[in-house]
Amino acid sequence: MNSQEIEKMAHKMSWQKFVAMEEKEKIIFLNNLHTGNPFHVLFAQQFNRENLDLLCQIAEIARAINKNKQEGVKFLRKLLSGTHALNFFYQPSSRTFLSFETAQETLGMSIRDIRDPSVSSEAKGETLEDSIRTFSSYVDLIIMRYPEKQAVEKGAWVLNKSDRRIPIINAGSGKDQHPTQALTDIYTLHKSFNGEIDGRTIVMCGDLKRGRTVRSLSYLMKNYHDMKLIFVSPSHLRMKKDIKDFLTSHNITYLEEDNLEEIIPLADAIYMTRIQDEWDEKNDQTKKIPKPVDPKYKFKKEYLELMKKDAVLMHPLPKRDEIDEEVGYFRDKRVVFWRQPRNGVWIRVALIALIFQKQQTILDYTHWPKKWREGG
């Protein structure tokens, strides 16, 4: 199918048909019709090795450009100046929200937000698709966090039907996916291992059933060679079958283990996660005091001794007690979870730049300060 045919099909497609398609069939309706790079970003399966490597490259260069506080900062700010972004967050968020805002500001976008469902016309009975279609008249990009998986898909579907097909990015869809956190994690691995992610063993520990970040990161593993995943979790919070089936179908080895301590020496990356008890039944958020994590699934400070010398300890944050508090204060270069938020800003800069096809302008940047050009 050529791009016009895809566009025509997307225009005509019913929601029932769109939602019933498998993820891999949906991709052509989400990516840029000409470049094949992600345009609407709904799930991690949309990314291939080529665009992941490209995103890490753009993030690194944009970050270096930004160090030039005169020309560099101005150059980045001009890239998307005159465009507007809407951050539409219907679920609690502080870091992802701030991360997107910082990325948008870095690229010169002006920013609007909606964070309170009660102020939106949905409270007056408007459908979500009508809300999104209306919002698309005011802005050039929508970032959306919503408790239900299908909400952001509905956004992409309705925008595909509109004459103003602006991009929409999933900033967390319930228990399902969080693709831009997974991109942050890939960029963190890329930086930690000097671009050599292939062949690594990644341990994921905690709430693997409801943690959307580990789900999205597992999907991205298909793009790397000889990866091994080791899942460590309480038995009722194991990684779900859909992910395990995906890994099997892509010949990615995974194991399920119960003893974190024994596994640590094998790991290149240990990815700790919070127990997502906001999803527990009859959970009253206002009164809830988090239960201490089962010590079996806690990263204790002594475990640093067991880690390989070039392994890394990651966490998407927010964290509770699943990592001994002191670990965060050690000046150990393997503790990278405080670097992830900063990496998250730059990979989001890269993603937005790619969506708006500004990647080449960034890669071709030539206004380096004189001393850098001379290798200073």
CA distance 28 to 39: 10
Of residues 79, 294, 329, 108, the one with CA closest to residue 205: 294
Stretch near ligand NCD under the rule CB under 6 A, chosen from 70-78, 230-238, 262-270, 316-324: 316-324
Shorter beta-carbon distance to ligand NCD: residue 140 or 153: 153
Q: How many CB atoms lie within 10 A of CB 352?
A: 27
Nearer CB in complex with ligand NCD: 239/362: 239
In angstroms, the CA 111 to CA 321 distance is 34
Measured from the CB atom, the residue of 96 and 233 that comes closer to ligand NCD is: 96
Considering only residues 265-304, where is the footprint of ligand NCD by CB under 6 A? 274, 276
Q: Which of residues 46-85 bind ligand NCD (CB under 6 A)?
A: none
Q: Which is nearer to ligand NCD, 36 or 147 (CB)?
A: 147
By CB under 6 A, how many residues form the interface with ligand NCD?
12
Instruction: With CA atoms as reference, report the closest residue to 320 among 355, 272, 365.
Output: 272
Rounded to the nearest 10 degrees, the angle between the axes of helix 49-67 and helix 340-355 is: 110
Q: For residue 369, report the phi and psi dihedrals to the nearest 5 degrees.
A: -60, 150
Q: Give dist(CA 355, CA 141) in Å, integer.
A: 10
| Shortest spacing between CB 94 and ligand NCD, in angstroms | 9
**Which strand ranges, in their side-by-side order, compose the sheet holding 141-146?**
110-114, 84-89, 141-146, 168-173
Of positions 45, 46, 51, 96, contacts ligand NCD by CB under 6 A: 96
| Two structure tokens written together for 67 | 């160090």
Contact flag: residue 317 with ligand NCD (CB under 6 A): yes
Q: In angstroms, what is the minimal distance from the CB of 45 to ligand NCD?
A: 18
* Residue 212 found at the interface with ligand NCD (CB under 6 A): yes
* Residue 288 per-residue DSSP state: -
Stretch that binds ligand NCD, among 68-76, 124-132, 311-319, 352-360 (CB under 6 A): 311-319
* Least distance (Å) between residue 342 CB and ligand NCD: 13
Per rule CB under 6 A, is residue 95 in the interface with ligand NCD?
A: yes
CB atoms within 10 A of CB 117: 12
Could you tell me which of 84, 105, 94, 67 has the C-alpha nearest to residue 348?
A: 105
Segment holding 352, helix H or strand E: helix 340-355
**Taking contact as CB under 6 A, which single stretch among the options 58-66, 81-89, 301-309, 313-321 is the one that binds ligand NCD?**
313-321
188 lies in the binding site for ligand NCD (CB under 6 A): no
End-to-end CA distance of the chain: 51
CB of 37 to ligand NCD, least distance (A): 23
Does position 178 interact with ligand NCD (CB under 6 A)? The reply is yes
Give the nearest distance from C-beta 212 to ligand NCD in angstroms.
5
Residues found near ligand NCD in the complex (CB under 6 A): 95-96, 172, 178, 181, 212-213, 274, 276, 316-318
